Amino acid sequence: VRPPVRIGVHAFVFAAGRSARDYARVAAGARAAGFSLVEVPLLDAVGIAAGVLRRALEAEGLGLTCSAGMTAAADISAEDPAVAAAGEQLLLRAVRLAAALGSPCLTGVLYGPLGAARSPPSRAARARCVDILRRSARTAQVEGVTLGIEPVNRYESSVANTAAQAAALVAEIAEPNVMVHLDAFHMNIEEESMAGAVEDADDLLGYVHVAESHRGYLGTGSADLQGLFDALVATGYEGPIVFEAFTRSRSAGELARPLALWRDVWTSAGDVAVHAERFIAAGLERAGRSPRA
């Protein structure tokens, strides 16, 4: 008997703040909507009370994963070595925080900042980025944390836009605790097909974001989400499947600009979340994988 699919939700669906009240609202909302897992964005991994957050999620019986990202001033893919060094410190801070929270992984756009690219990275900058990811992966391994590489669309990064590029990056890093993380919103822009991208990631695939083309209600946009569910089930994927959605009025201020969140595509967190959990479960069921058992 296979274990239930770990269907999760990005914490910012419910609250982007970092107070104990925000954490309680995230935990209660995720549980009420039927999720078993919450993804906690650490952002620059500063100002998060790990104990308070961990207890809030544990109180609702929820598992937890962590994501993080670079900033303009701390970016491991930067041309300026000092900025890259600051990025390495950010990454190590995030790895330690993920470990303190009991997360099995730290994933996301760990290789660069969102929305800032003007050109592809130079060979030197890319090589340094790979070296830093390799060193960080070794530290993460000691902490029991797997790193995830999430390719994002061309408007958000120039380092990795496709599953094939992410898989190549993981192969270059060449550490066992590094995986590919795919996101349907970005796949919908950059990939030929959902199945093709899942195939490109192959056995490196370890994390999935289910997100619509407009980052709102699942099934109401142009992303081929059933194609993604079919491919995941066909390849025997058993990792986390996490709902990600953003809307302007509920986003952290530092994300609105890089993610271009200019309008509200949804207003009720509870409603968009319940709908998403059912949509993912039904899509997996239709693909032949019973998610609850």
Rule CB under 5 A: which residues touch Mn ion? Answer: 183, 209, 244
- Residue 65: closest CA among 145, 142, 124: 145
Nearest distance from C-beta of residue 182 to Mn ion, angstroms: 9
Residues 6+ apart with CB under 8 A from 40: 11, 48, 53, 64, 65, 66, 67, 101, 103
Nearest distance from C-beta of residue 221 to Mn ion, angstroms: 15
The answer to whether the beta carbons of residues 158 and 190 sit under 8 Å apart is: no
Nearest to Mn ion of 24, 147 (CB atom): 147
Distance CA 90, CA 109 (A): 13
Nearest distance from C-beta of residue 233 to Mn ion, angstroms: 20
Considering 39, 88, 150, 277, which one is annotated as catalytic? 150
Beta bridge partners of 7: 241
Nearest distance from C-beta of residue 212 to Mn ion, angstroms: 12
Question: Between β-strands 7-10 and 241-243, what pairing exists: parallel, antiparallel or unpaired?
Answer: parallel
Distance CA 46, CA 166 (A): 27
Nearest to Mn ion of 244, 277 (CB atom): 244
Considering 88, 156, 191, 244, which one is annotated as catalytic? 244
Nearest distance from C-beta of residue 124 to Mn ion, angstroms: 28
Q: Examine the residue annotation and report whether 150 is marked as an active-site residue of this protein.
A: yes
> CB-based burial of residue 151 (10 Å sphere; 0-12 exposed, 13-18 middle, 19+ buried)?
buried
Indicate the DSSP class of residue 33: T
Nearest to Mn ion of 133, 182 (CB atom): 182
Nearest to Mn ion of 23, 185 (CB atom): 185
Nearest to Mn ion of 86, 245 (CB atom): 245
Q: Determine the Cα angle at 46 with ends 43 and 52, to 5°.
A: 100
Catalytically active residues are 150, 244
